[in-house]
Structure 1
């Protein structure tokens, strides 16, 4: 009987602390993939001298867990990752160090010690913002009301195992539309509402939106995370097929928040808070007339 191979050297040091990180991807880096960010983060923890915990075996890897990344091509103010370290760290000190080590366009917004349960299990829904340049709020509102009045809207998307048809309408828990102004700076990322407890990163937010410019309807939606995941482009496809909504310019999509879902009205709580009800939540703006602050 062959002897089982054992890796040479000392055994892996166990993690003594788990930290959850909220980060943003903005500007041109909205086109970066999850794998692109993984490579950037692994380089950043080395540059910052973070005492990472590693897996055991012949090919140790840093203990990093990624959860529910936004689709490539969308900006986000609410991406999450969890890391394990072999020395206890100050969360704010880690936030500053990683924010400085990551490329411009990635911003570390908040770091907190991991609580009970898996991070992925707490990410139940997302608040999305979809900018529709060239369309007014009243026009989009008519399409949105038709969509919300339907019991089912089917969309077909191609997966690795082939095409699959699924219901988009069931996942949309709440939605409103309001007037805004289209971004004229291609590098600008749509400004978002900070989730409770957010700490601003060193990377500066995009320039303020101009006071005047082309019309732009701004659509906010609270979307439940389902299997398969209902993505913003699925919702836009559903609006086109079910209500004939056809944006004249490519939409700009930003995830403003993701976390536990709260009811009445539907909103998204902060997954890094110890008590989501106490700190509040991000919800769909109710005033359809005002622009986004």
Structure 2
């Protein structure tokens, strides 16, 4: 029987601290993919001198966990990931160093020391904004009313396993129309529960077209404004890092 190979050298230093990080994806970098961001982040962590913890084995990798990334092409004010480090660091100092090391339009908003519980479990829903350029609020309001009145609104998307049809209506907990005060165009705001498969804003636009025939004159500007624990009655989402601040207290 062949002997099992084991990595040579000492094991990597253990992690002593876990940090949760909120960042924003803005401007032209809304077109960056999750893979693009992970490459940029690993470079930034090295440039910032963050004492990263690494996995064991023949191919060590930095201990980074990503949570529910926004689709490519959408901006976001509320993206999250976690890192583990081998030396305790000050969250505010890490935020400044990492923000400086990342490309413009990838902005680190907040860093907190992780408390108990899973961050992924707190990301129950998202608050989305769709800026419908060249669409007046009066045109979009009856479209929203018709969508909210139906029990089911399907969309089809192609996955690795092939095409899949799913309901977009049930996850939409709230939807309303606002007016852009500068351009006068319609802004579609909606709170969407996270499901499997994830119902994305473009899926909901597809379903709106199927239900009402509405099609935006040009691709909307889509931004995730927040994601976190769902509030009652579809009122929005809470801050997923609030429990960490409360558990850990002020940065030391």
TM-score by length of 2: 0.95
Is the counterpart of residue 45 in structure 1 residue 45 in structure 2? yes
2:225 to 256, 266, 291: 256
Is the counterpart of residue 161 in structure 1 residue 161 in structure 2? yes
Is the counterpart of residue 70 in structure 1 residue 70 in structure 2? yes
Report if aligned partners of 1:18, 1:83 keep a CA contact under 8 Å in 2: yes
Report if aligned partners of 1:270, 1:276 keep a CA contact under 8 Å in 2: no
* 5+ long unaligned stretches in structure 2: 247-252
Report if aligned partners of 1:44, 1:102 keep a CA contact under 8 Å in 2: yes
Question: How do 1:118-267 residues align onto structure 2 when only pairs under 5 Å count?
Answer: 118-180=118-180, 212-213=182-183, 215-267=184-236
C-alpha separation between the residues in 2 aligned to 1:246 and 1:160?
A: 27
Q: Greater share of helix residues, 1 or 2?
A: 2
State the match for 1:272 in structure 2. 241
Cα RMSD after superposing both structures? 1.4
> What's the secondary structure of 2:233's corresponding residue?
coil
C-alpha separation between the residues in 2 aligned to 1:97 and 1:46?
A: 11
Which range is displaced more, 43-52 or 155-164?
Answer: 155-164
Shift of 1:276: 9.9
Matched residue count: 246
| Post-superposition CA distance 1:10-39 (Å, at most 9, x none) | 101111000000000111000000000000
* 5+ long unaligned stretches in structure 1: 182-211, 278-293
C-alpha separation between the residues in 2 aligned to 1:162 and 1:265?
A: 32
State the match for 1:208 in structure 2. none
Report if aligned partners of 1:154, 1:166 keep a CA contact under 8 Å in 2: yes
| Post-superposition CA distance 1:131-153 (Å, at most 9, x none) | 00011112101100000011000
Cα gap change, 1:276 to 1:134, in 2 (>3 Å): farther
State the match for 1:96 in structure 2. 96
Which runs of structure 1 show a deviation greater than 6 angstroms over 4 or more consecutive aligned residues?
none
C-alpha separation between the residues in 2 aligned to 1:44 and 1:100?
A: 8
C-alpha separation between the residues in 2 aligned to 1:12 and 1:86?
A: 9
Shift of 1:245: 1.1
C-alpha separation between the residues in 2 aligned to 1:22 and 1:275?
A: 13
State the match for 2:86 in structure 1. 86
State the match for 1:6 in structure 2. 6
| Post-superposition CA distance 1:15-68 (Å, at most 9, x none) | 100000000011100000000000000000000000000000011000000010
Report if aligned partners of 2:174, 2:235 keep a CA contact under 8 Å in 1: yes
Report if aligned partners of 2:114, 2:244 keep a CA contact under 8 Å in 1: no
Report if aligned partners of 1:154, 1:168 keep a CA contact under 8 Å in 2: yes
